[in-house]
Chains A and B, each alone.
Chain A
């Protein structure tokens, strides 16, 4: 039983395309996150949603748009992909009021050609 799942696992696309990554968690958590990990392994928060409400929106290009249809899902849509968007994108979840422990999905490796 996968706790936090992401699809797809790999995504290879051309510059200028639009793509989406989906995330689902079955832990019953109320907060979900998107992180970007670059080639140097640096993991940086992009967005966070609590009960479908955006609570963290770090400085990322507005080509990136998160969407949370319900508290178990957080999707990431990227418009006009650029070479610099190539990275591994991780979804994570946690429960507010607990100990801040975040559980990560398996990641989506995005390669922009």
Chain B
């Protein structure tokens, strides 16, 4: 069983729509959760981090964490073509020395 799983892509949404990206993790005592954005040929860039249950909003981005369901999501409101990228979910597992485990990524395309 994969430790961090993301919904299979690619995902296409029209410009202005809400893009919903999902991630589940297997280690129940995971503590830190991150969403990275990676443009083609570039390095991962942190866009959101969340540590407690509930929602965290930053501009057009909202991260949602549900530890009971072992689920973390990222919503992108008013999607723009510039949001087209691969989104990586990462989880800091319990007992690890700052080790991040990444999901396989979801490729998002926002259609103009």
Contact = CB atoms under 8 A, between A and B. Distances in A.
Interface of A: 31, 40-45, 48, 50, 55-56, 90, 94, 96, 99-107
A56 B97 CA distance: 7
B1 to A, nearest CB: 16
B42 A96 contact: no
Interface residues on B, range: 20 to 34
Q: From DSSP, what is the main secondary structure of chain B's interface residues?
A: strand
A50 B86 contact: no
Given A99-B32, A99-B49, A104-B44, A43 B99 contact: no
Interface of B: 32, 34, 38, 42-46, 49, 51, 86, 88, 92, 96-102, 104-105
A104 B44 CA distance: 6
B44 A99 contact: no
Contacts of A40: 104
